Amino acid sequence: MNDRLPGFSTLAVHAGAQPDPTTGARATPIYQTTSFVFNDADHAASLFGLQAFGNIYTRIGNPTQAVLEERIAALEGGTAALAVASGHAAQVVVLQQLLMPGDEFIAARKLYGGSINQFTHAFKSFGWNVVWADPDDVASFERAVTPRTRAIFIESIANPAGSITDIEAIAAVARKAGVPLIVDNTLATPYLIRPIDHGADIVVHSLTKFLGGHGNSLGGVIVDAGTFDWSKDNKYPMLSEPRPEYHGIKIQETFGNFAFAIACRVLGLRDLGPAISPFNAFMILTGIETLPLRMAKHCENARAVAEYLAGHPAVAAVNYSGLAGNPYNNLARKYAPKGAGAVFTFSLKGGYEAGVNLVSNLKLFSHLANVGDTRSLVIHPASTTHSQLDDAAKVKSGAAPDVVRLSIGIEDKEDLIADLEQALGA
């Protein structure tokens, strides 16, 4: 019972998991069931009324999923977490708790292209209005604040360009505006950056990427930092007002510093429905056990490949914040001292054509629309993930037409460099 804080690797293996109560199974079982029996009518009523802890139905929660949630909450230093079907589902569920039709949120312009689409089109149809700001210009966030602002959304390491966001500076803007800061920490993972330590109130992930890490399962997660007072003014009625769907319970009053995670589960997930499958939760949980080992190798390989490309005569520029001289190098040293991640872009002197040729000549890198796999991946964002954007928006989001994006895997770095060498020379 000594109160010492275990290290990150110990938490990555153990947090949230315990041998199964009935069988003693040591690995977390896949509870592949839709529903759970009640002990009696009173127990059922207590569970439905949020009065007891326990399982009801897998759209609301599942024991395999619960282990995944507690593990990520522990790794991020949050009070609680909620796992959902995908990174995009996490973003919908978070904003549904915070915005009413007609409200606004401020988002960094440098984001995963799919998030830019989701915010611009899908969310607009819900009446949630995104206002864009430039993550390299903190004052642009301040200028975007209005009385309808309900949240600020940024990526810690931005996809695709791998640029690093000054989380603390933007957290200060959010605090002054009295709104929560949401950080998408997908590309960094808590191994490289823990946004809550820098002022984030909510962290979201696509678990599909480095956390799951093997390119085999979709998932998303929401982490509650437990730091935001939802009842301070009337901005967040989902958390501060009596909820008619639960006989007038006030979520923050009842659940204290993990109220946001509970709201996401019992108001968001329950009603919108994007539950993670128990099997995917198991696959991602297994992936997380090796997160520290994998991330160290991803970062080591990414640095070696970036250095190699920076010295290649056919390469015009390499955007890897881990390299000295990169405009984000100081931020990378501050926020991600263990490594600047494994997703970055570079451009070729031969422009768009040369980029397309490179992608088709690579033999080990896989050409596909994902990042954060054990395998090394390559894509041309301008014609794929960011193709819906116009040219100006492509440049602003770091996906200019001559840019190629790499996600460096955990193979032997010599083999990755040899593959690039042959493809650049072909």
Partner 1 sequence: MNHDNYDDNYIRGILNGVKSIAMVGASPVNVRPSYFAFKYLAQRGYDMIPVNPGHVGKNLLDKPFVASLADIGRPVDMIDIFRNSTHIMPVVEEALRLDPLPKVIWMQLGARDDAAAAKAEAAGIKVVMNRCPKIEYGRLSSEISWMGVNSRTLSSKRAPMPTQGMRLSLNRTSLGGGETAASDRAAKNKADPT
Ligand X SMILES: Cc1ncc(COP(=O)(O)O)c(C=O)c1O
Provide the binding-site residues for ligand X, judged by CB under 6 A: 86-88, 112, 114-115, 155, 159, 184, 186-187, 206, 208-209, 218, 220, 371
Which does residue 419 bind out of ligand X, partner 1, none, counting CB within 5 to 8 angstroms by kind? Answer: none
Question: Does 249 contact partner 1 by CB under 8 A?
Answer: yes
Residue with Cβ nearer ligand X (343 or 420): 343
Tokens of 282: 């198991």
Partner from partner 1, ligand X, none binding residue 390, C-beta < 5-8 Å depending on class = none
What does the per-residue mask of binding to partner 1 show for 303-332, with x meaning CB under 8 A?
A: ------------------------------
Q: Which residue is nearest to ligand X (CB)?
A: 87
- Residue 118 CA to residue 208 CA, distance in Å, equals 17
Smallest distance from partner 1 to CB 231, Å: 9
Binding of partner 1 by 273 (CB under 8 A): no
192: helix, coil or strand? helix
Does 156 contact partner 1 by CB under 8 A?
no
| Farthest CA pair distance, the chain | 73
Contact 135, 168 (CB under 8 A): no
Q: Where are the alpha helices (DSSP H) in 120-257?
A: 123-125, 138-144, 167-177, 189-192, 237-240, 251-255
Provide the 8-state DSSP code for 211.
T
Subset of residues 186 to 225 that bind partner 1, contact rule: CB under 8 A: 196-197, 199, 225
Closer residue to partner 1 in complex, CB, 254/388: 254
CB of 188 to ligand X, least distance (A): 10
Residues within window 350-379 making contact with partner 1, judged by CB under 8 A: none
Least distance between partner 1 and beta carbon 96 (Å): 17
Long-range contacts of 325-334 (CB under 8 A, 24+ apart): 327/163, 328/162, 328/163, 328/164, 331/164, 331/165, 331/166, 332/164
Burial class for 34, CB neighbours closer than 10 Å (0-12, 13-18, 19+): exposed
Q: Is 138 in the site for partner 1 (CB under 8 A)?
A: no
Separation of alpha carbons 83 and 59, rounded Å: 11
> Per rule CB under 8 A, is residue 272 in the interface with partner 1?
no
The letter for the amino acid at 262 is I
By C-beta, is 13 or 272 nearer to ligand X?
A: 272
Among 34, 35, 51, 330, binds partner 1 (CB under 8 A): 51
Which of ligand X, partner 1, none lies near 112, with the C-beta cut-off 5 to 8 A by kind? ligand X
Torsion sign across C-alpha atoms 108, 377, 368, 399: positive
> DSSP string spanning 51-79?
-S----BTTT--HHHHHHHHHHHHHHT-S
| Shortest reach from residue 158's CB to ligand X, in Å | 8
φ/ψ of 376, rounded to 5, equals: -80, 140
- 198: tokens are 């820098």
**Which of 117, 129, 140, 257 is in the footprint of partner 1 by CB under 8 A?**
257
Question: Which residue number, 45 or 314, has a Cβ lying nearer to partner 1?
Answer: 45
Nearer to ligand X by C-beta: 95 or 239? 95
Q: Report d(CA 198, CA 179) in Å as an integer.
A: 15
**Separation between Cα atoms, residue 62 and residue 79, nearest integer Å:** 18
Q: How far is the CB of 2 from partner 1 (least distance, A)?
A: 7
Which among ligand X, partner 1, none contacts residue 15 (Cβ within 5 to 8 A by kind)? partner 1
- How many residues bind partner 1 (CB under 8 A)? The answer is 67
Examine residue 263 and tell whether it contacts partner 1 (CB under 8 A): no
How many angstroms separate the CA atoms of 419 and 306, rounded? Answer: 14
Q: How many residues does the chain have?
A: 426
Instruction: Kindly state whether residue 157 participates in binding partner 1, applying the rule CB under 8 A.
Output: no
Binding site partner of 87, from partner 1, ligand X, none, Cβ cut-off 5-8 A by kind: ligand X
Can you tell me the distance from the alpha carbon of 143 to that of 266, in angstroms, rounded to the nearest whole number?
Answer: 34
* 182: helix, strand or coil: strand
Among 121, 124, 143, 247, binds partner 1 (CB under 8 A): 247
Which amino acid, one-letter code, is at 114? G
Q: What is the binding site for partner 1 (CB under 8 A)? A: 1-6, 10-11, 14-16, 18-22, 24, 39, 43, 46, 49-55, 61, 63, 65-67, 69-70, 73-74, 77-83, 172, 175-176, 196-197, 199, 225-229, 246-249, 253-258, 261-262, 265
